[in-house]
Amino acid sequence: MCVAGVPDELLALGERLSVDAVGLVRASRLVAKVDSAAVQDGFDLYLHGFIVTDDGHWAVVQQGMSPERRQARRYHWLWDRAGSFVEEPHTAIDGQPRPLPIVNLTDRGASAARSETVALATSDPGQVLAKVGRVLAMPDHHDVRADNLDLRRLGAALHVAVTRGPADFPELLLTPHVGQRTLFALALVAEVLHGAPSRFTDPARFSFAHGGKDGHPFPVPLVIYDETLRVLRNAVDRAKLGQSDKLAALRRLDDQCRIADASAAGKSPPVNAARALAAIVAHERAASPSLGGRTCVGPAPQRGPAPPRQLTLPGFR
């Protein structure tokens, strides 16, 4: 049966069996909406089968199609598993896995995103439009400058990298031979892994984790990039074996950045923060050749000796 015709059929069924037809119609619409909007996996729904027992229990099997891949995917639901319909409600999803990331707001880890979405939808429209305008406002230059960044949040990651240096980093992440620079990159990666989307208001600062292929704010340091991947791969491999200590350590790293972030809340960036940021960029660009720095046009050029390292911003001492 097609999705559009199900409500009328359920209402007619309710009159015959004295079941909660209105509740069944709501369930039908929610199930279809979840698999077409909350789960955005590239498969468009075209079949919605809603099965009802005499006592009002129900099951749904609906199917989506990906024309470009010439594949279908089935979504299975049972009334006693659906719960609130929004947190891991499926009994099963049958189909070939996609190699690309998808949007899945029914994942348990997306609870913060769902809450933020509801808060946004129920906020004052004027405030929402103002926030959207700020998010969409892009600078008319390509390079990353101090006035494009939330220096307080960037400073939090830098502060943690300095105060949690190589000496005690093994205790934090149980990974030896990792220095301040890799820790700084991992601090920003940890926020992406564990931070609610509402924290991602300043995407420019994430470019300071591993630079950019265009050379802004500095060439990609392949040594740091590979070390970050090694740490993450090792953490995931251990988690598959039931040892989640390293994944938990990444979460603790994000927690420490949040603490540093909160300690500077409400403080305006000091006047010399832009100079400190420029010094960080200058050091990274000068150090790029020794870190395997590359851009899309080739290896990073040699710029002479790197200036003194300054992995912190004023206000985070």
**Cβ-contact 252, 270 below 8 angstroms:** no
Residue 302 in this model has a pLDDT that exceeds 80: no
With cut-offs at 50, 70 and 90, classify the pLDDT of residue 259: confident
267: helix, coil or strand? coil
**Cβ-contact 183, 169 below 8 angstroms:** yes
With cut-offs at 50, 70 and 90, classify the pLDDT of residue 285: confident
Residue 67 in this model has a pLDDT that exceeds 80: yes
pLDDT at 77: 94
H and E: helices and strands count for the chain: 12, 9
Residue 2 in this model has a pLDDT that exceeds 50: no
**Cβ-contact 174, 247 below 8 angstroms:** no
Tens of pLDDT along 138-176? 555 556 655 556 666 676 766 776 666 555 555 555 555
Q: What's the chain's average pLDDT?
A: 76
Residue 25 in this model has a pLDDT that exceeds 50: yes
pLDDT at 129: 58
Residue 211 in this model has a pLDDT that exceeds 90: no
**Cβ-contact 160, 313 below 8 angstroms:** no
Residue 6 in this model has a pLDDT that exceeds 70: yes
Q: What are the residue boundaries of the structural domains of the chain, listed by start?
A: 3-106, 109-137, 142-299
Structure tokens at 183: 């820790």
How far apart are alpha carbons 228 and 280 in whole angstroms? 19
With cut-offs at 50, 70 and 90, classify the pLDDT of residue 55: confident
Alpha helices in 51-179 (DSSP H): 79-82, 111-121, 125-136, 151-163, 169-173
Question: 92 pairs with which residues across the strands?
Answer: 76
**Cβ-contact 40, 106 below 8 angstroms:** no
With cut-offs at 50, 70 and 90, classify the pLDDT of residue 61: very high
Residue 303 in this model has a pLDDT that exceeds 60: yes
**Cβ-contact 58, 79 below 8 angstroms:** yes
How far apart are alpha carbons 217 and 253 in whole angstroms? 24
Mutual angle of helices 222-240 and 180-194, in 10-degree steps = 50
**Cβ-contact 35, 62 below 8 angstroms:** yes
Residue 64 in this model has a pLDDT that exceeds 90: yes
Question: In this predicted structure, which of 77-91, 107-121, 215-229, 277-291 has the lowest mean pLDDT?
Answer: 107-121
Residue 248 in this model has a pLDDT that exceeds 50: yes
How far apart are alpha carbons 221 and 182 in whole angstroms? 10
How far apart are alpha carbons 144 and 295 in whole angstroms? 16
Question: 58 pairs with which residues across the strands?
Answer: 52
Tens of pLDDT along 117-144? 777 666 666 666 566 555 545 555 556 6
**Cβ-contact 188, 209 below 8 angstroms:** yes
With cut-offs at 50, 70 and 90, classify the pLDDT of residue 1: very low
